[in-house]
Structure 1
């Protein structure tokens, strides 16, 4: 990790954003697993400590109990497959290595914060993305982000900085974040809504901005979630204590406008918003609520290039929705 960060900090090195992206990916894995809330580092450390403190026999007993607690045959079969594939030694080694990689990048945060002042806007933007994943160092990182936001003019840098401020619980920056929500730049305006939702400040203007971004995502540069503005907006709306019906409609409409790989994560958000928890098997279509019927019908009407993905099949199966396209259309009364 020090080598990657040293490359990023060397003004003479080419493509300096890529070492930053690589270091962040090694620390986190896929960032989608941590969004929209951010890295739950206390839980991560506690689970790693638990796994390292136990032994193979005790872990086997725990997993056997987990399989026995399955709510139905489908879930039990899924847990049994996971149980059979589990290797205790590999799990311990992996847990140790993953947390060590995270802590190695965390140790380099002074370098990352210094790069917030780099002359290259791309480096500043990537550094602003990277610092948001380390809540244990939030005080120093928020101070650096505040200084950056006080002078920065590049929209991509501001966009990443605002989202990181939200992930780090930067409530002292609420006034500045709201200024960007009221601004005209698409990226910072959207990022401000994402940050405010994360900070439990999702009033009507925030929800309206996120809903609009589900149906018609603005064109902008953002590193979080690979720049998937629609999905990040939907995840933020789904994370609210209570998502208004109009916002749920916006997420469903957003799903209807997806295709191919973009569909499956949006479908999962829609099912979570409309069903709450999986219902297996689903009742007759007519017995669903109107919004549940709309959700299933929208999924059934997704194009064939969405239905070719195993990812979508697995999500639908988990929620009790027919996994064959024709069967789903028949269930929804479309065939």
Structure 2
């Protein structure tokens, strides 16, 4: 039996968990959950992992107990019972970045901006704000509740969400050098998880990138290769171009997608020469082809929504070949989950129709092919009626038909109200 005697949980009871908090109050239950992760009871392990996801990482929020759990989870990921190592690694990733891997793509984590935002609210400012609220609140019951929350802040059990998230991020960053050993783990699932985790620490790029590139030289798993290549692109710069560009001609479609994704990020992030005209064109062509041709991947980036990731990468290169980009994005839109189409639709519309039609809406046939295909895709997959009808407002501001029925008529589809969204080949 693997337990604290083997070092996984050494120091667990030296932490004053009762003085720490999580989503449901004080964190006295965390030691028992971490201990259960290391036990032999499969049901208990699964329950403990679910509990930890729910209390120290609750809907993306990190708490004062969260960073204290990180060293133990790192040891479990490295040497715990095989059935829970992947779960521990996934929890470490979420504790570090929550869903930045969705909304910070395709550029990756902007850690400088995150640190600046976290520093905006000091403890003294927070406590002063609660003092003001108590002084202005006439209801004793509400004032008592504010007093309790202030006490939690003063004790360090609550803090600004950006700051508390950053503490967990930095706790995982501290463990990252040791966790990089998992890039060489015999289990490809663990290697994939380690490559994915490593993608989000640009301050550690000098350490992480050589390990990722070493992995690419010897890796035989398509999924691990693709994950590591995208990670290298998120951390690297233009100097990696010659290392990654040969993979654009790989046999496996998923590896071609990963190479194009990595190079798109590198090229769009470069402030000087970029990738060059020919290579940029190759990257755009591979990304545009990937939406229709790539197989269903077992990839975590963008919550597994690879068409959504492709669209973001394409749009970052729109200045180089607007028409091919728009056609590729149109293909992606009908394959994406409904909740991911909003930002893509907004950005794509801005690219396709940089200026509103001041002289009236032209006939549909006078639009470019990219504009036509985008509008047809938006009829099928636009975020209609969502987010306070902002999508409809975006259409209206461009002098385009701003209802689904009107847009269907404009693009030449019958207005029968039928939802003809294409079946997602990725999901």
- TM-score per shorter chain, which class? 0.7 to 0.9
Counterpart in 2 of 1:45?
115
Counterpart in 1 of 2:27?
none
1:326 to 405, 423, 427: 405
Contact 1:285 1:332 in 2 (8 A): no
Cα deviations by residue, 1:254-294 (Å, 9 ceiling, x for unpaired): 324557446445433432431358x7x99954389825565
Tell me: higher relative CO, structure 1 or 2? Use CA pairs within 8 A at least 6 residues apart: 1
| Secondary structure of 2:83's aligned partner | coil
2:214 counterpart of 1:147: yes
Report which stretch shifted further, 141-150 or 125-134.
141-150
Report which stretch shifted further, 148-157 or 253-262.
253-262
Contact 1:215 1:251 in 2 (8 A): no
2:377 to 276, 280, 298: 298
User: Are the structure 2 counterparts of residues 283 and 299 from structure 1 closer, same or farther at C-alpha, using a change threshold of 3 Å?
Assistant: farther
2:183 counterpart of 1:104: no
Counterpart in 2 of 1:25?
94
User: Are the structure 2 counterparts of residues 253 and 333 from structure 1 closer, same or farther at C-alpha, using a change threshold of 3 Å?
Assistant: same
Report which stretch shifted further, 222-231 or 253-262.
253-262
| Secondary structure of 1:99's aligned partner | helix
Correspondence 1:39-188 to 2 at 5 A: 39-52=109-122, 55=125, 93-188=160-255
Cα deviations by residue, 1:232-273 (Å, 9 ceiling, x for unpaired): 111011112614112212212332455744644543343243
Counterpart in 1 of 2:82?
13
Cα deviations by residue, 1:206-238 (Å, 9 ceiling, x for unpaired): 111001123444333322112222111110111
Displaced runs of 4+ in structure 1, greater than 6 A? none
Q: Which has the higher helix share?
A: 1
User: Are the structure 2 counterparts of residues 53 and 272 from structure 1 closer, same or farther at C-alpha, using a change threshold of 3 Å?
Assistant: farther
TM-score, length basis structure 2: 0.62
Counterpart in 2 of 1:246?
324
Contact 1:264 1:312 in 2 (8 A): no
CA distance in 2, matches of 1:310, 1:217: 29
Q: CA deviation at 1:25?
A: 1.5
Report which stretch shifted further, 244-253 or 27-36.
244-253
Report which stretch shifted further, 315-324 or 225-234.
315-324
User: Are the structure 2 counterparts of residues 34 and 54 from structure 1 closer, same or farther at C-alpha, using a change threshold of 3 Å?
Assistant: farther
Q: What is the alpha-carbon root mean square deviation over aligned residues?
A: 3.7
Counterpart in 1 of 2:8?
none
TM-score, length basis structure 1: 0.77
| Secondary structure of 2:76's aligned partner | helix
User: Are the structure 2 counterparts of residues 257 and 229 from structure 1 closer, same or farther at C-alpha, using a change threshold of 3 Å?
Assistant: closer
Q: CA deviation at 1:132?
A: 0.8
| Secondary structure of 2:82's aligned partner | coil
Cα deviations by residue, 1:16-69 (Å, 9 ceiling, x for unpaired): 22221221122212111110001011111112223439958xx9xxxxxxxxxx
| Secondary structure of 1:50's aligned partner | coil
User: Are the structure 2 counterparts of residues 132 and 259 from structure 1 closer, same or farther at C-alpha, using a change threshold of 3 Å?
Assistant: closer
Contact 2:327 2:373 in 1 (8 A): no
- How many residues are matched? 303
CA distance in 1, matches of 2:210, 2:165: 28
| Secondary structure of 2:119's aligned partner | helix
Contact 2:253 2:290 in 1 (8 A): no
Contact 1:187 1:222 in 2 (8 A): no
Larger Cα Rg: Structure 1 or Structure 2? 2
Contact 2:280 2:320 in 1 (8 A): no
User: Are the structure 2 counterparts of residues 54 and 228 from structure 1 closer, same or farther at C-alpha, using a change threshold of 3 Å?
Assistant: same
2:334 counterpart of 1:274: no
Report which stretch shifted further, 116-125 or 312-321.
312-321
User: Are the structure 2 counterparts of residues 45 and 212 from structure 1 closer, same or farther at C-alpha, using a change threshold of 3 Å?
Assistant: same
Cα deviations by residue, 1:52-107 (Å, 9 ceiling, x for unpaired): 39958xx9xxxxxxxxxxxxxxxxxxxxxxxxxxxxx9996212101111111111
2:303 counterpart of 1:236: no
Report which stretch shifted further, 261-270 or 197-206.
261-270
CA distance in 1, matches of 2:84, 2:395: 43
